[in-house]
Amino acid sequence: MDYLPLFLNVRERLCLVVGGGAVAARKVILLHRAGAIVKIVALKLHEQLQELAQRGVITVQQTAFSDIEIKDYYLVIAATDDKILNTQVYQMAKVHGVLVNVVDQPSLCNFILPAIIDRSPIIIAVSSGGASPVLARLLRARLETLIPHAYARLAQFAARYRNRVKQQIKAVRARRIFWEQVLQGSIAERVLAGQEMEAEKALEEALSVNSAPSQGEVYLVGAGPGDPDLLTFRALRLMQQVDVVLYDRLVSAEILDLVRREAERIYVGKKRAWHVVRQEQISTMLVEYAKEGKRVLRLKGGDPFIFGRGGEEIASLAAEKIPFQVVPGITAASGCACYGGIPLTHRDYAHTCIFVTGQLKEGQLNLNWQSLIQPQQTVVVYMGLAGLGLLCQQLIAHGMSSSMPAALVQQGTTPQQRIFTGTLATLPRMVMNEKIHAPTLIIIGKVVALHSQLAWFHTSQESSCK
């Protein structure tokens, strides 16, 4: 280990930064956030530093460094492109026993500044010891995705209750176990979700019996349209801490692989005219698993509140007083349109967008046709492949032009994505010729004509039929 990791308290300490460029500005901002009294020595100032000086946040001395009494400072940072000056700063600081850092010159440092993940009061530092600052920043970026900003709230919550818990639970081991249960269970999840009043009530109840609550919780998570990179940070965090997952047919294998390895996996997928588990059974399973004290993940393709029956499931949970969280996902309309280079709205083509389901019921489509044929509008049809012929026929019969551009996006956002463009008149024939299968999204409107110009996602197959 080349360096001893330490966290330095510079609050109300006098710190000096030599240099006035963009690099110096970043160091000044960091010191200011940590509560230091910052002084700058530089002949010219970056505009960011000028603004800070005008606000009185920092003081500036526009003179040569040799005029500075370096022994008066707690630490010094040299951030200039003058190697001779940087060496002079280091040597003077070393003589006076002052902490010194010369940016990008590890040999002229007796301390280094790591890449920082700030979730105050939680601070995480990543350092390569000066060997590769870029690698340290890349590692920090990866950790940023795994540690939500809400962990700051959780740390503050724990700090507020630290003495209270210590007084209530005297034994050190019992107190440690209590905090482990709290910080990994439903109380922590409520804090992270911004439900601090509910979390405080639950903690008080837990303290009354010296035990964290054993009741489980349900996470209703939108998995997006297929690409794992489209998951939210919150979705990923919850997926990695569950005991059991109930997942749909539209959840890709790559996304399912991100669920905690030890979690029990239960397939509850549906497709047209075939249901593995009926909706009522799914809702019952969520309640029963949660009552067993398990953390239950209900993983749905797309967004759970857009044609995902999420409302029905949380109604069952609410009736049984089961704690739950809902995490939105990118719905298929947004994901498929984006990856297909088809903007759902465009000032020259579409001012509104409407989502509908195209499922057949007894061979019929019961839609508000008049609302679908409005000018400058994009129509997105979910689950409409089986009734595509009837859909196109009825839109034309109710006044939409048979030459209206339309697209089919099969398995959108995934490497297997296929896009087929045509018109209302040609699309049904294309389905028969190209062997298109679900999941496929239908996009109808003049914006589809932009696909050839704007598509950026390399699909395995594209076809058009005019």
d(C-alpha 168, C-alpha 174), whole Å: 11
What number of residues does the chain have?
466
The CA distance from 400 to 392, in Å, is 9
Please report, in range form, the residues annotated as the binding site. 22-23, 43-44, 225, 301-303, 306, 331-332, 383, 412
Write phi, then psi, for 214 (nearest 5 degrees).
-100, -10
Binding-site positions for NAD(+): 22-23, 43-44
How wide is the angle at C-alpha 332 spanned by C-alphas 327 and 336, nearest 5°? 135
Q: Could you tell me the CA-to-CA distances from 9 to 17, 36, 83 in Å, in that order?
A: 17, 9, 29
Here the tokens at position 426 are 């040609």
**Residue among 27, 248, 294, 300 flagged as catalytic:** 248
| Strand stretches in 302-369, DSSP E | 324-327, 352-357
Q: Give the pairing type, strands 405-410 and 418-423.
A: antiparallel
Q: Which of 420, 376, 367 is nearest to 395 (CA)?
A: 367
Distance of CA 166 to the CA centre of its chain: 35
Locus of tokens 């409302």: 311
Candidates 389, 383, 391, 381; CA nearest to 448 is 381
Decide if 271 contacts 249 (C-beta within 8 A): yes
Q: Could you confirm whether 81 is annotated as catalytic?
A: no
CA angle 377, 378, 382 (to 5 degrees): 140
Query: Which residue positions form the known binding site for S-adenosyl-L-methionine?
Result: 225, 301-303, 306, 331-332, 383, 412
- Between helix 151-168 and helix 172-183 the angle, nearest 10°, is 150
CB 49 within 8 A of CB 24: yes
Catalytic residue, chosen from 270, 291, 300, 321, is 270
Catalytic site includes residue 300: no
Q: How far, in Å, CA of 463 to CA of 172, rounded?
A: 68
Do residues 440 and 408 make contact, with C-beta atoms less than 8 angstroms apart?
Answer: yes
Q: Active-site positions?
A: 248, 270
